[in-house]
Amino acid sequence: MDFNVKKLASDAGVFFTRAVQFTEEKLGQAEKTELDPHLENLITRADGTKNWTEKILRQTEVLLQPNPIDHTGARIEEYIYDKLDKKLPSKATNAELLGQYMLEAANDFGPVTPYGSTLITVGEYQKRLGGAEREFLHTSATTFLTPLRNFLEGDWRTISKERRLLENRRLDLDICKARLKKAKQAEAKAAAAPDFQETRPRNYVLSASASALLSEEVDKSEHELRVAQTEFDRQAEVTRLLLEGISSTHLNHLRCLHDFAEAQATYYAQCHHYMQDLQRELNRCANAVGAPLPPAAVCPNPVSSAFLSGQSSPGATVSTSSGQRPSTLAMEQTQLPVTGARKAKVLYDYDAHDSSELSLLADELITVYTVPGMDPDWLIGERGNEKGKVPVTYLELLS
């Protein structure tokens, strides 16, 4: 117990001495050891990395979880499950909930009624959209948010701890410098004092004893300064190595950023394809009951026009109205003059909805072309002896 009390008193004394030194530096009454420019630049760069990482992380969380209340609750729930060492259960997204409500409403209204059957169709696609969103959120959290959070809660805490230790070592060094300076000034003042050897021998003995004590104080201060300088240099090197690791952090975050952008692109592409399929389903249902959807009810496809530009002949007539989409691919239509035949790479698997369409497998190569009067969202695809309509959005046209 005595040892602990002494250590506590010693630590309190060190803390007080450092506080005095820090205050005097702020008031301009004490000298301060400056860090070398390279270390200062590393510290500035690290501070910028920490600040921007916090902002990017916070805004990405807002993007993925717009509601601040839900966001806070999700973080608390995630923290609790992490402390319990249990896996966080998967939650249904808003789109999945909407789809489920539509399916339940369809059962209530009657699944065979036009409204009920349409609710079922739209509800199923809403659930697909929700599943794609859930996968995107999971991928983004794993590949982007987690590495950023690990840096702030792991690496940055270590860097901050070593920087605080470096600051303490610097204060100790400056304290030793000030102490040595005062000791040398006292020694010089004692040496310049008048000698009382002739008149007062006893005073001369006292002066010699005091001079010896001052000399010992100077030697002690010089030793403490050397020790403080060594500890400061060692801590500065440790801090420098940690700060130089920020470059590796940037490279890691760069890879994570690529993964996040890829996940985002995949998610939006899936949503686009699901909506295109939903439009086709709604048009097919509308044609079946003899009430085609108006053109304004169909979302334009910005991709198809870009894909088909330069493929159609100047005299070709391209129909953009959904009401003019052929329900079947008649044999005589395939005998019409073809335009812009070329190779295409299949991007995604596609299951044909009827005999007029051609099923596709991802990464396969097929020959595609268009015919006059054909819907711009579709092309004619050929694979060996097989032929049928294929959606443009599932293809990458090759030159």
Distance of CA 107 to the CA centre of its chain: 42
Nearest Cα neighbor of 93 from 143, 127, 59, 139 is: 127
Residue 345, both tokens? 């790479």
Tokens 């319990």: give the residue: 84
Instruction: Over range 315-328, report the average pLDDT.
Output: 38
- Strand pairing category for 339-346 and 378-383: unpaired
The 3-state DSSP class for residue 122 equals helix
Q: Which of 45-54, 140-149, 265-274, 288-297 shows the lowest mean pLDDT across its residues?
A: 288-297
Kindly report whether the global pTM for this prediction surpasses the value 0.75.
Answer: no
Question: Number of C-alpha atoms within 13 angstroms, CB side, residue 102?
Answer: 19
Nearest Cα neighbor of 327 from 294, 349, 347, 354 is: 354
CB 116 within 8 A of CB 109: yes
pLDDT in tens, 236-250: 999 999 999 999 999
89 or 311: which carries more pLDDT confidence?
89
Instruction: Over range 255-263, report the average pLDDT.
Output: 94
Residue 140 has pLDDT above 70, yes or no: yes
**Ordered strands of the 395-397 beta sheet:** 386-391, 378-383, 365-370, 339-346, 395-397
Residue 235, both tokens? 């801590």
Kindly indicate the confidence band of residue 332, based on its pLDDT and cuts at 50, 70 and 90: very low
SS (H, E, C) 329-395: CCHHHHCCCCEEEEEEEECCCECCCCCCECCECCCCEEEEEECCCCCCCEEEEEECCEEEEEEHHHE
Positive or negative torsion for Cα 361, 363, 368, 370: positive
Kindly indicate the confidence band of residue 132, based on its pLDDT and cuts at 50, 70 and 90: very high
CA atoms of 210 and 109, how far apart (whole Å)? 106
| Neighbour tally for 146: CB within 10 Å | 12
CB 92 within 8 A of CB 130: yes
pLDDT in tens, 188-213: 887 776 554 444 555 555 466 767 78
Distance of CA 99 to the CA centre of its chain: 30
Nearest Cα neighbor of 362 from 344, 350, 354, 380 is: 350
- Strand pairing category for 386-391 and 378-383: antiparallel
What is the per-residue burial (b if ≥16 Cβ within 10 Å, else e) of 168-204? bbbbbbbbbbbbbeebeeebeeeeeeeeeeeeeeeee
Question: What was the pLDDT predicted at 254?
Answer: 96
CB 352 within 8 A of CB 368: no
81 or 121: which carries more pLDDT confidence?
121
* Element containing residue 236 per DSSP (H, E): helix 201-244
Query: How many H-runs (helices) and E-runs (strands) does the chain carry?
Result: 11, 5
CB 360 within 8 A of CB 387: no
Instruction: Over range 159-188, report the average pLDDT.
Output: 89
| Neighbour tally for 115: CB within 10 Å | 12
